[in-house]
Structure 1
Amino acid sequence: MRLQDKTAIITGAGNGIGKEAAFTFGKEGANVVVADYNLEAAEKVVADMNEFGGNAIAVHVNVADQSSVQKMVEQTIQQFGRIDILVNNAGITSDAMLYKMTPEAWQKVVDVNLTGVFYCTQAVIPKMLEQSKGKIISTSSVSGVYGNVGQTNYAATKAGVIGMTKSWAKEYGGKGINVNAVVPGFIETDMVAKVPENVLDKMRSIIPLQRLGNPADIAKAYLYLASDDADYVNGTALHVDGGIMM
């Protein structure tokens, strides 16, 4: 029970990696705020968690809307009284080659993947400072480290997440707040399911572990960084990618 009695907000927790993280944190004793743009999906996750005794609430949030984020934080404090962990997991793609990428596609991804991380982190910092302790974990991507064809917007936001993570780690490390990022490789989620099978086969062939990752691989990384085991880990970008970019 590595997260016993701690309260965690997980954005984008209605499906995929965020959903798996909610289950993982709940089983480790955390109070979990299952935050998602799709409230119905979040409520389903909470119902499933209730079956194994998890303590969770579903909260609607649009991370690209500062007022919505603030409301999520207020609901969390009202329900649980504290915020120990924030997992900035919500993210979207809108892929296109540079010359075909519309301003709308660029801005939509920036608003969710980069500005959303900024809004959520800024909103929880006051409570964590008050407690003199907290864990902030944000999701980057190998695309943000090495780039990827057709992902100018996505790669830019995921690189930005690492830059913000390192900046915040320097700002708040001395205040008892650990700030880290997780850098997933190719993970078996709905997002990756849209990729043609022949492309997935090629991906598997270049990954030293010879498989795609699964949501549990990333959820376990979140758990480690959220736990007391990672109290001396700060400002890192933890790659969980099967070794694809060694």
Structure 2
Amino acid sequence: MGPAGRLGGAVALVTGGASGIGRAVCARLAQDGARLAVADRDEAGAGVTVGGLHAGGGTPHAGSGGSPQPHAAFGVDVAEATSVTRLLDRIQEHFGSPPRICVGCAGITRDEFLLRMGEGAFREVLGVNLTGTFLVTQAVARALVAAGAPGGSIIHVGSIVGKVGNLGQANYAASKAGVEGLTRACAKELARFGIRCNAVLPGFIVTPMTDKVPPKVLEKFAGMVPLGRLGDPQDVADVCAFLASEDSSYITGASVEVTGGLFM
């Protein structure tokens, strides 16, 4: 494998890259040779991720004219179209090209039982998790097509909850089920441009989102997993790296479950 790694210095946009799965995806893609555009509503946290990439040996690659193009952090609200449009403009200004890899990790939860859930909590979760995924996918695809494509890999981080549901997560389950449908539709529309679109469906992964879950509950969940443990963000990042690379060149419209066998 050459110095650029198997991703060959491609620009990769990761939303939700300030922590958790998003941060792990950034580290893995950088390890494989990508130049990272780390985007998050928490721009300072995205900057911390970028700092870790440099410290961890995510070497910048030469851009046009031979000038170095380091990893970079960007602030974005994926639920706002103008913010997403500005993000793509800034990425292209910085790197000189649109991202050929996009991993949508941005997501929120606002858990409450159905009978007590407010409309605002439902709309907010769908706004970030589903509308945000649509807006980022559309913006990246438009930029790739305008640049002449062919080629590109768009990866949506969904959730197994979108398939099986979960108590207190009607909004989250609905948003992630929508992400799967969006993935399949985008895969069919974008295939003619050589752009692939796939989804990754994590199970119970230890992230900042699980910090508020009582340890006894986490132990119970771990006991339900056939492989006997909760997932690590790296487990998801490894699958994203595969889908980002040419090793998965004949895969599009797929949903890959990363659950340790839970709900099989």
What is the TM-score when the length of structure 1 is the normalising length?
0.98
Matches within 5 A, 1:62-81: 62-80=77-95, 81=97
- What SS is found at the alignment partner of 2:197? strand
CA distance in 2, matches of 1:154, 1:46: 28
Percent sequence identity is: 41
Matches within 5 A, 1:79-158: 79-80=94-95, 81-129=97-145, 130-158=148-176
SS of 1:131 mapped into structure 2: coil
**How far does the alpha carbon of each residue in 1:14-70 deviate from its partner, in whole angstroms, 9 at most, with x for none?**
001101111111111101000000111111111111122433100000001111101
Decide whether aligned partners of structure 1 residues 203 and 10 sit closer, same or farther in structure 2, where only a CA change above 3 A counts.
same
Deviates more, 1:191-200 or 1:92-101: 191-200
Pick aligned residue for 1:22 from 5, 19, 26: 26
Cα distance in 2 for residues equivalent to 1:46 and 1:111: 26
Give distance in 1, aligned partners of 2:176 and 2:152.
Answer: 22
1:222 to 231, 236, 240: 240
Q: What whole-Å deviation, never above 9, does each CA across 1:193-218 have from its counterpart, x for those lacking one?
A: 21111111111111000000000000
**Which letter maps to 1:204?**
A
Aligned pairs for 1:15-54 (under 5 A) are 15-51=19-55, 52-54=57-59
Q: Secondary structure at the match of 2:44?
A: helix
Task: Please list every run of 5 or more consecutive structure 1 residues that lacks an aligned counterpart in the other structure.
Answer: none
Q: Which residue of 2 aligns with 1:6?
A: 10
Local SS of the residue matching 1:232: coil
Tell me the distance in 2 between the aligned counterparts of 1:85 and 1:144.
24
Count of aligned pairs between the two proteins: 246
Considering only aligned residues, what root-mean-square deviation do their CA atoms show, in Å? 0.9
Q: Secondary structure at the match of 1:69?
A: helix
The AA in structure 1 aligned to 2:103 is: V
Residue of structure 2 in register with 1:196 after alignment: 214
Q: 1:46 & 1:169 partners in 2: Cα distance? A: 30
Return structure 1 stretches of 4+ with deviation > 4 angstroms: none
